[in-house]
Amino acid sequence: MADLGESGDLDTAWRTLRAGLIENRWLLTSRSTALPGLGSTALAVYDGVAALLSRTARETFGPEVTPLRFPPVFSAHMLEQTDYVASFPQLAGTINSFRGGQGEYRDLIATYGRGDDWQPLFSPTGLALTPAACHPLYAWLEDGEVDHTRLYELTGDCFRHEPSEDPMRFVAFRMREYVRLGTAEQAMTHREQWLAIARSLYETLGLEVDIVPANDPFFGRGGILLAANQRRDEAKWEVVTEVYPGTPCAIGSGNYHDTHFGDEFGLRLPDGSTAHSACFGFGMDRTILALAARHGFDPTTWPGAVQVELGLAG
Amino acid sequence: MADLGESGDLDTAWRTLRAGLIENRWLLTSRSTALPGLGSTALAVYDGVAALLSRTARETFGPEVTPLRFPPVFSAHMLEQTDYVASFPQLAGTINSFRGGQGEYRDLIATYGRGDDWQPLFSPTGLALTPAACHPLYAWLEDGEVDHTRLYELTGDCFRHEPSEDPMRFVAFRMREYVRLGTAEQAMTHREQWLAIARSLYETLGLEVDIVPANDPFFGRGGILLAANQRRDEAKWEVVTEVYPGTPCAIGSGNYHDTHFGDEFGLRLPDGSTAHSACFGFGMDRTILALAARHGFDPTTWPGAVQVELGLAG
């Protein structure tokens, strides 16, 4: 067989992983590319990772931990406040619905009946898909004073439109985020603490990880500059592991936002100055798939210590 | 003060509940109407209800219980297969994204920069929001033989575009569904069993419930007929409770689909005939809000037995 070169190897690697995940019912696929469900085994591992994170947060930060949950949908206006429209329009998702009356409904049904594309007959609702689990938090806190003693714990579905057959890249995926708002120092400390916690936690689960500057896919030619700025400012670090040999894949990231969200959402410190923020996000789906890639599809054969950490033993 | 009449009383009732839920941080509101987050107390009750359902299902059905999870987004084609486009277009949500290149991006940024509406510059992705937690299950099983010994347990975010300030009507909400596919008898039995389980379970939690024929908001003039058929066929029953005095509100529903999904998704029984299906859905957000309306905003003051059932005691 011919040498496929690096991208061919990568292609083979993710096809092999994908086939194994489907065969072992970790991923439940349908016509919707990159939108698989999780089977019972995957869910048990998922729940184990979620419980481990909750336990670790409470052991470390006690009553500061404040669990909240926001829905996967929010106001499209929020994509403006976070500047997501300008930075990542190709990943964003806005929501349309049918807004017409009986006459337009007749047109809709006729179009639908002919088998033609009815989606253009839907119009904007002013709603969008949440691209990051922490954005709705800033919207809830809007124009208020932040409490730096709160460690917000958020679990949320995120949407990023980058359809791919690579099982490490879902269009809809789940993040567990830990967020701190406060002074610059408090926010920076938060990111450093959680990078350390995440490294230790992933190593406990048998994953070899590295921490590298992030390289987000900002749109277009201007995006090259924005990505360079992100790396220069060391604003965002990713925890990566080699799910595919030679190709680091981010399974978590720590992001210091400076006063980006504080400015846009009017978040203040008690002295009236603008709040800084930082978040650490665990990519939940990627984490469990990395565990499957590392240890195999049957958790009863995983190292005993990993099973114990995830509550899967016995 | 003038007599507001029935709709005025209802108006007052939901405004009062909403104000209490917000003041006590059960609901975390932002600019996004009908898309609140859940605060820590609400989440603890939510987790208690979810665990109670999981426990009850396993105590009753043992290893038949098969937990799966699907994302809140799926192929828009699925809205056709379920006929949702025709029945409830006003509730459906399809997803648009930015599909252009550098030139279109310049237009987008100019529009955005002027403060004009940029949403029309996004175009259909072929994806949609999931309106019911069980629909992706049929898509996963498409063109296959069903296993009637499986009791599928699904928890999913659902989207229905009916923005309202009434806290019992979220645009994005979570359902726990139990689904059975098999013969007509197996499907009917499933619905009856779960209506009984739900009644008993809600009563254990101190909610007075009734079981009534459902009355879904099918679109337009033709929808009146579809709704009448639904009632005549007794296809769907709702478990209702009076969150607002005199106004029953559905907090669960049992739905026998006949071969609707079996036909559309090519689901077969071992003898080659078309599978029947039935689902029971617990409205998770509505259930916890009904509990707050019934027992108050502080679970530590709830009846001891309810606290024990929900794992909130001690």
Per-residue pLDDT of chain A (314 residues; tens, 9 = 90+): 334 345 568 889 999 999 999 999 999 999 877 899 999 999 999 999 999 999 999 999 999 999 999 999 999 999 999 989 999 999 999 999 999 999 999 999 999 999 999 999 999 999 999 999 999 999 999 999 999 999 999 999 999 999 888 999 999 999 999 999 999 999 999 999 999 999 999 999 999 999 999 877 777 777 777 777 777 777 889 999 999 998 999 999 999 999 999 999 999 999 999 999 999 999 999 999 999 999 999 999 999 999 999 999 87
Question: For residue A255, what are the β-bridge partners?
Answer: A236, A279
Contact B94 A119 (CB under 8 A): yes
Q: What pLDDT does residue B6 have?
A: 52
Report the gap between the CA of A125 and the closest CA in chain B (Å): 8
Q: Which residues of A touch B78 (CB under 8 A)?
A: 30-32
The model scores a pTM over 0.90? yes
CB-closest option in A32, A96, A136 to B30? A136
What is the CA B35 to chain-centroid distance, rounded? 14
Pairing state between β B37-38 and B65-68: unpaired
The number of CA neighbours under 13 Å toward the Cβ of B26 is 24
- Helices A284-295 and A40-61 pack at an angle, to 10 degrees, of 110
Mean pLDDT score across all residues of chain B: 93
**C-alpha angle B114-A255-A269 in degrees, rounded to nearest 5:** 75
Q: Which residue of B has its CA nearest to A101?
A: B220
What is the distance between the alpha carbons of residues A72 and A173, in angstroms, rounded to a whole number? 10
pLDDT of residue B1: 34
In a mutational test of the B interface, the residue from A22, A69, A116 whose CB has the highest number of chain B CBs within 10 Å is: A69
Question: Would you call B68 and A39 a contact, using CB atoms and an 8 Å cutoff?
Answer: yes
Which residues does chain B have within 8 Å of residue A125's beta carbon, measured at their own beta carbons?
93, 161
- CA–CA dist B80, B94 (Å, integer): 12
B301 by Cβ neighbours in 10 Å (0-12 / 13-18 / 19+) ranks as: exposed
- Cα separations in angstroms, A84 against A87, A117, A253: 5, 28, 18
B124: closest CA of chain A, how far (Å):
7
Provide φ and ψ at A34, rounded to 5°.
65, 20
Give the pLDDT score at B100: 94
Instruction: Give the distance from residue A2's alpha carbon to the nearest chain B alpha carbon, in angstroms.
Output: 35
- Cα separation, B177 vs B29, in Å, equals 26
- Tell me how close the Cα of B216 comes to any Cα of chain A, in angstroms: 17
Burial class, A234, CB count within 10 angstroms (exposed 0-12 / middle 13-18 / buried 19+)? exposed
Instruction: Name the residue among B123, B267, B161, B136 with its Cα closest to residue A35.
Output: B136
Residue type present at position A203:
E
Tell if the CB–CB gap between B142 and A170 is shorter than 8 Å. no
Q: Does domain B5-74+81-93+131-309 have CATH number 3.30.930.10?
A: yes
* Contact: B43, A172; criterion CB under 8 Å: no
Element (H, E) at B187: helix B184-204
Å between A236 CA and nearest CA of chain B:
25
Choose the closest CB to B68 out of A43, A108, A171: A43
Contact A94 B37 (CB under 8 A): no
Which chain A residue lies closest to B46 (C-alpha atoms)?
A69
> Block means of pLDDT (10 residues each) for chain B, length 314 residues?
54 93 96 90 98 98 98 95 92 97 94 94 96 96 97 97 92 97 97 97 97 83 75 84 94 95 96 97 98 98 98 88
Nearest CA-CA distance, residue A79 and chain B, Å: 11
Q: What is the CA radius of gyration of chain A?
A: 21
Question: Least CB-CB distance to A119: which of B76, B90, B136?
Answer: B76
Q: Do B91 and A97 touch (CB under 8 A)?
A: yes
Distance CA(B197)–CA(B216), nearest Å, equals: 23
Q: Do B172 and A40 touch (CB under 8 A)?
A: no
CA-to-CA distance for A119 and B114, rounded, in angstroms?
A: 27
Give me the pLDDT at residue B277, please. Answer: 98
Which residues of chain A does B31 touch, with a Cβ-Cβ cutoff of 8 Å?
75, 77-78, 139, 142
How close is the nearest chain B Cα to the Cα of A50, in Å?
13
Domain regions of chain A by residue span? 5-93+131-309, 95-128
Q: List for chain B the helix, strand, coil content (%; round to 5).
A: 45, 25, 30
Q: Tell me which residue in B74, B97, B102 faces A220 most closely, judged by beta carbons.
A: B102
3-state secondary structure of B113: helix
What whole-number distance in Å separates Cα of residue B106 and Cα of residue B102?
6
Cβ contact A291:A20 at 8 Å: no
For residue B226, what pLDDT is reported? 76
Nearest chain A residue to B134 by CA distance is: A37
Best mutation target, A70, A73, A84, A265, to test chain B (most B CBs within 10 A): A73
What does the pLDDT read at residue B3? 41
Say whether domain A5-93+131-309 belongs to CATH 1.10.10.10: no
Over its C-alpha atoms, chain B yields an Rg (Å, rounded) of 21
Q: Which residues contact B129 (CB under 8 A, 6 or more apart)?
A: A73, A95, B72, B73, B92, B93, B94, B95, B158, B159, B172
Of B94, B124, B157, the CB nearest to A157: B157
Question: Which of chain B's residues have a Cβ under 8 Å away from the Cβ of A36?
Answer: 71
List of chain B residues whose C-beta atoms are within 8 Å of the C-beta of residue A157: 71-72, 157
Per-residue confidence (pLDDT) for residue A7, from 0 to 100: 59
**Between chains, do B32 and A124 touch, taking CB under 8 Å as contact?**
no
The pLDDT score that the predictor gives to residue A94 is 98
* Count of A-B CB contacts under 8 Å: 220
Q: Concatenated DSSP letters for A186-228?
A: HHHHHHHHHHHHHHHHHHHTT---EEEE------HHHHHHHHH
Q: How far is B2 from chain A (nearest CA, A)?
A: 35
pLDDT at B5: 45
Q: Cβ separation of A43 and B120 shorter than 8 Å? A: no
Question: According to the model, what pLDDT value does residue B138 have?
Answer: 96
SS3 B291: helix
For A6, phi then psi, to 5°, come to: -60, -45
Q: Which two tokens stand for residue B190?
A: 């499933």
CA dist B81 and A42 (Å) reads 27
Task: Give the residue on B whose Cα is nearest the Cα of A108.
Answer: B86
- Given this model, what pLDDT does residue B235 score? 80
| Chain B residues near residue A97 by CB distance under 8 angstroms | 89-94, 161
